[in-house]
Amino acid sequence: MQQDPPARLLNAAAAVNPRIPGIRSLHSPGPTRVPDAVMHAMQRPMMDLADPRVAALIRACEDGMRALLASRDAHVLFYAANGHGMWEAVTANLSARGRTLLVAGGGHFSDSWAMQTEVLGAATGTTVQRTAHTEGHPIDAAGIEAALREDTGHRIAAVLVVHTDTASGITSDLAAVRRAIDAARHPALFVVDLVASLAAAPFAMDALGVDVAMGASQKGLMCPPGLGYVAINARALAFAEQHAGPRFYWDWVRRVSDLQYKKFCGTPPLAHLAGLEAALQLIEQEGLDRVHARHLRLRNAVLAALARWSDAGAVKPFCRVPAASSASVTAIEVSPGIDPEALRTVARERFQVAIAGGLGPLAGRVFRIGHLGDMNEATILGALAGVEAAMTVQGIAFGTGGVAAAAQALVDATR
Ligand SMILES: *Cc1c(COP(=O)(O)O)cnc(C)c1O
């Protein structure tokens, strides 16, 4: 039973209350809330590119990212681009005629990555192979191992893995992927998409033997969208050096340089770098272990609420493997007949809580609550209460006591 068509509701809300006081709660899994310290840092005046402060800013971002990625000497390259741009940087540098890129099936984001790589690969004679995936589950490491074992000629140049699939809220086990590559004794590069997981879930580039790690600014890194990063080790750089693709702006070989104009292929995105520097300082001040623990605590609060909501049968966790529930975002499956887009509109326009909808094959089947980035106990409890209120307006049958259960989970976590 749906009430209040979204458009009518929106008009009514605007007519009654053109100014919305207080904080509008952003629980999309990206872009996420940008802390004031990051906003203020981005207002820093522009500098002449020879100003030593520019070099210091770049160095702070590179060093900070290396620390966050737990890599001793990966090259960190920044691009004025979003996550899709970083996918393109990977493909442009790891494509080679007659070679294959193996995309680990893991949901909507790995499908999108594979599709983009297929289009680009067609131009360079690079093929894309995908491993099978079961909906609601993390990546199947055994499927990766089998594909690598079958590839006795070592045509597979790299294995492309999404750490956290943002569409399903599922985090895969990167150590298991590393073991699969090692067990197959395959020299493929290990490439990881950290767009939704870095600074939310633990990651260690060197310890995992990851050759390329890539991501973007607007999720766990708490910056506005528009800055992408790629961290590459010596093996990845060597592959790019040996395979000169049709690339310039994305070219790692050109960018690995002490010269600023080469590093950025032109003018550095100074405002975004200043924001990133501030965000990295916030993470360092809090302590990375505490940042990870906070994300788990907030996730557990959401899962506690969801367990209660599920009692009435109309909503339930989309993730079928509870241990793989991501620290960043929780996807909530709704029964047929419930419109998650209408729920979103009511939550946003009437209760000031912005949540996300379903992507790709999950459109119309789930809504998602983001809990990554600049967030705390109060923001997550407010979001859960707003979602409960919106579900009530929409006549969705949900078990009561969700917010109380979330509060109890937070109490238990801080005892
Ligand atoms: C958001 C996201 C992307 C795409 O990033 P854009 O900045 O929207 O291009 C890629 N991979 C993952 C895992 C994501 O969550």
Q: What share of the chain has pLDDT > 90, as a percent?
A: 93
Mean pLDDT of 192-213: 98
Atom of ligand 1 nearest to the CA of 194: 13
Which residues, listed in sequence order, are joined to residue 77 by a DSSP beta bridge? 230
Rg of the chain over Cα atoms, rounded to whole angstroms, equals 22
For ligand 1, the distance from its centroid to the CA atom of residue 223, given in whole angstroms, is 14
Q: Residue 391 is part of a domain; what is its CATH number?
A: 3.90.1150.10
223 CB less than 6 Å from ligand 1? no
pTM (2 decimals)? Answer: 0.96
Of the candidates 284, 299, 325, which is a domain's last residue?
284
Closest-CA residue to 232 (of 252, 203, 261): 252
Q: Is the pLDDT of residue 1 over 50?
A: no
Of the candidates 266, 284, 302, which is a domain's last residue?
284
84 CB less than 6 Å from ligand 1? yes
Of the candidates 229, 253, 284, which is a domain's last residue?
284
Q: Residue 157 is part of a domain; what is its CATH number?
A: 3.40.640.10
For ligand 1, the distance from its centroid to the CA atom of residue 231, given in whole angstroms, is 16
CA distances from 311 to 306, 317, 406 (A): 9, 11, 15
172 CB less than 6 Å from ligand 1? no
Helix (H, G, I), strand (E, B) or coil at 58: helix
| Structural domain includes residue 1 | no
Beta-sheet pairing, 366-370 with 329-334: antiparallel
For ligand 1, the distance from its centroid to the CA atom of residue 407, given in whole angstroms, is 31
Q: Are residues 247 and 306 in the same domain?
A: no
89 CB less than 6 Å from ligand 1? no
For ligand 1, the distance from its centroid to the CA atom of residue 217, given in whole angstroms, is 10
Closest-CA residue to 330 (of 353, 351, 300, 310): 300
pLDDT tens sequence across 347-387:
999 999 999 999 999 999 999 999 999 999 999 999 999 99
Q: Are residues 269 and 292 in the same domain?
A: no
Please report where in the chains the tokens 């501030």 appear, as a residue.
Answer: 278
The range of the structural domain enclosing residue 406 comes to 6-30+287-413
**How many domains in the chain?**
2
Total Cβ atoms within 10 A of residue 361: 13
196 CB less than 6 Å from ligand 1? yes
Residues 6 or more apart whose Cβ sits within 8 Å of residue 400: 308
Q: Is the pLDDT of residue 3 over 60?
A: no
Q: Are residues 111 and 178 in the same domain?
A: yes
pLDDT tens sequence across 151-160:
999 999 999 9
pLDDT tens sequence across 100-139:
999 999 999 999 999 999 999 999 999 999 999 999 999 9
Look over the chain and give the mean of its residue pLDDT values, rounded to a whole number.
95
Long-range contacts of 248-256 (CB under 8 A, 24+ apart): 249/79, 250/79, 250/88, 250/89, 250/92, 250/93, 251/92, 251/93, 252/75, 252/77, 252/89, 252/93, 255/75, 255/77, 256/75, 256/77, 256/232
Mutate to test the pocket of ligand 1, among 90, 103, 166 (most ligand atoms within 8 A of CB): 166
162 CB less than 6 Å from ligand 1? yes
CA angle (232, 235, 241) in 5-degree steps = 90
28 CB less than 6 Å from ligand 1? no
pLDDT tens sequence across 266-311:
999 999 999 999 999 999 999 999 999 999 999 999 999 999 999 9
Atom of ligand 1 nearest to the CA of 228: 7
